[in-house]
Amino acid sequence: MSHIKRSCTQTFVRGINLFLVFLTIALVLTACTPGEQTPVDYVFDDLGRLVAINGTPQRIISLAPSNTEILFALGLGDRVVGVTEYCNYPPEAQQKEKVMGYSTPDIEKIVALDPDLILAGYGNPIDVVYTLEELGLTVFGIKTTDLDDLLNDIKTVAEITDKEVEAQALTSEMAVGIQAVTNQTEELEQRPKVFYIVGHEPSLWTAGSGTFIHELIEKGGGVNTCQNISGYAEISIEYVLARDPEIIITSEYSYDWAMNTTGPLASTNASQSGRIYTCDDDLVQRPGPRLVKGLEWFAHFIQHDIFPEEPED
């Protein structure tokens, strides 16, 4: 009887072991089956961070108007669940949930929207990026420095969101628009001195080298009077007057101030000749697909004889 018990026990143990072997194999095969596991891609963002992208994002929050424009231009409007209060283009973006301002996003509201991708932009506080990251959210930072960088940023967003085909069409169209301007300006010898005003209160700010606005001036056929300054910087009126710009392009907010005939810029060549201009800020201050239109406006202002017609909407 004890012999029979031992035989039954051994048979039972062998059966359990065999079951565990088959179960382990099944689990391994299941884990390796395509479509059953979530692929993880690791991509460096413009903040120098290696960001893990888990699968294809379906719930996206944009923390910058430029990012919002890129997302909609790639056909991702239906996946956007949150934007900033300043995201006004395209019109459909205004119907999305607002996560407060550009520099003051509402952390609680962002978390409540349960995003699987957050696109941060230049100007978003870095501590906000780190806070969201610490909460387990996927944050990808974009900081566009020039037009080529913009095209690459669009392609990167497309790779993350599985919109490569749309990105190829979009960036190709943008590249054609850029080339249409530079074909007319890259060999120019007569290049007027151009000063760009980002804002004038409480202090005067401009765009130096390493900014996309600087490139709009250069590709538009001018010379940036502040090219020796790096990035966006505060400058003095004396600095501007010493360089006596021939053309001044200003944000809409600062246009009336710049046009003041008794103001601090009245003695400049630009003021004396009536060459102070402005256009829609969103076209020249947002590094999105419409920045090409901003380049066309700059070329129209700077090289009016070559580009006499105002750019079409």
Angstrom distance (rounded) from CA 286 to CA 238: 28
The CB-side HSE value for 110 (13 A sphere, CA atoms) comes to: 29
Which pLDDT band, with edges at 50, 70 and 90, does 38 fall under? low
What percent of the chain is predicted at pLDDT more than 90? 84
3-state secondary structure of 151: helix
Query: Residue for token digits 């790096």?
Result: 230
- Band of pLDDT at residue 44, cut at 50, 70 and 90: very high
**pLDDT exceeds 90 at position 299:** yes
Residue 15 has pLDDT above 50, yes or no: no
pLDDT score of 297 more than 50: yes
Q: Which domains does the chain have, with CATH numbers?
A: 40-162 (3.40.50.1980), 180-302 (3.40.50.1980)
In tens, the pLDDT along 139-159 reads 999 999 999 999 999 999 999
Beta carbons within 10 angstroms of residue 81's beta carbon: 19
Task: Provide the whole-model pTM.
Answer: 0.86
Q: Residue 50: pLDDT above 60? A: yes
Tracing tokens 């400049």 back to the chain, one arrives at: 268
Rounded-to-integer distance, Cα 197 and Cα 252, Å = 9
The residue type at 244: D
| CA 181 to chain CA mean position, Å | 22
Bridge partners, 28 (sequence order): none
Q: Write out 76-96 in H/E/C secondary structure.
A: CHHHEEEECCCCCCCHHHHHC
Are 110 and 128 contacting, i.e. CB atoms less than 8 angstroms apart? no
Query: Do 62 and 71 touch, CB atoms closer than 8 A?
Result: yes
